[in-house]
């Protein structure tokens, strides 16, 4: 997040659902000047949670961003689909790992009803 009018305009005109990773700086995003303009019908902000369902805190400098502007939290660790040089899989985490979970739910919902709007998807996902 951040106050960028060109990004905001692009999201506002996008007809689909925009799934945004909230970031991993441990910041309360509600304190960003102008952040309320990003409360859009077609945008879901995704934070990361740990295996206990709590906001992910990895160390003293890195944790999931939070605040009222963060709409939903999803698992922060997942396995990559690309094998490493020793032919094993690795994990990665953060809100960049959490957001694809939400995007996947949106895709599954659209596969059941392709007439759902971005607002419909957002409302359904936030009620799950």
- Residue 65, Cβ neighbours under 10 Å: how many? 24
pTM: 0.87
pLDDT of residue 79: 61
1 has pLDDT over 70? no
Burial of residue 38, with CB atoms counted within 10 A of its CB: 0-12 exposed, 13-18 middle, 19 or more buried: buried
pLDDT digits (tens, 9 = 90+) for 46-57: 999 988 888 998
pLDDT digits (tens, 9 = 90+) for 79-113: 666 555 666 666 778 899 899 999 999 999 999 99
């Amino acid at each position: 997040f951040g106050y960028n009018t060109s990004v905001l305009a692009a999201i506002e005109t996008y007809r689909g659902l925009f799934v945004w990773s909230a970031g991993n700086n441990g910041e309360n995003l509600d304190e960003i000047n102008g952040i309320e303009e990003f409360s859009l019908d077609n945008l879901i902000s995704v934070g990361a949670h740990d295996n206990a369902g709590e906001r992910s805190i990895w160390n003293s400098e890195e944790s999931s961003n939070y605040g009222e502007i963060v709409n939903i939290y999803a698992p922060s660790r997942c396995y990559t689909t690309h094998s490493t040089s020793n032919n094993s899989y690795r994990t990665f985490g953060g809100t960049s790992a959490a957001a694809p979970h939400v995007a996947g739910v949106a895709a599954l919902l659209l596969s059941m009803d392709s007439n759902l709007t971005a607002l419909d998807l957002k409302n359904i996902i936030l009620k799950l």
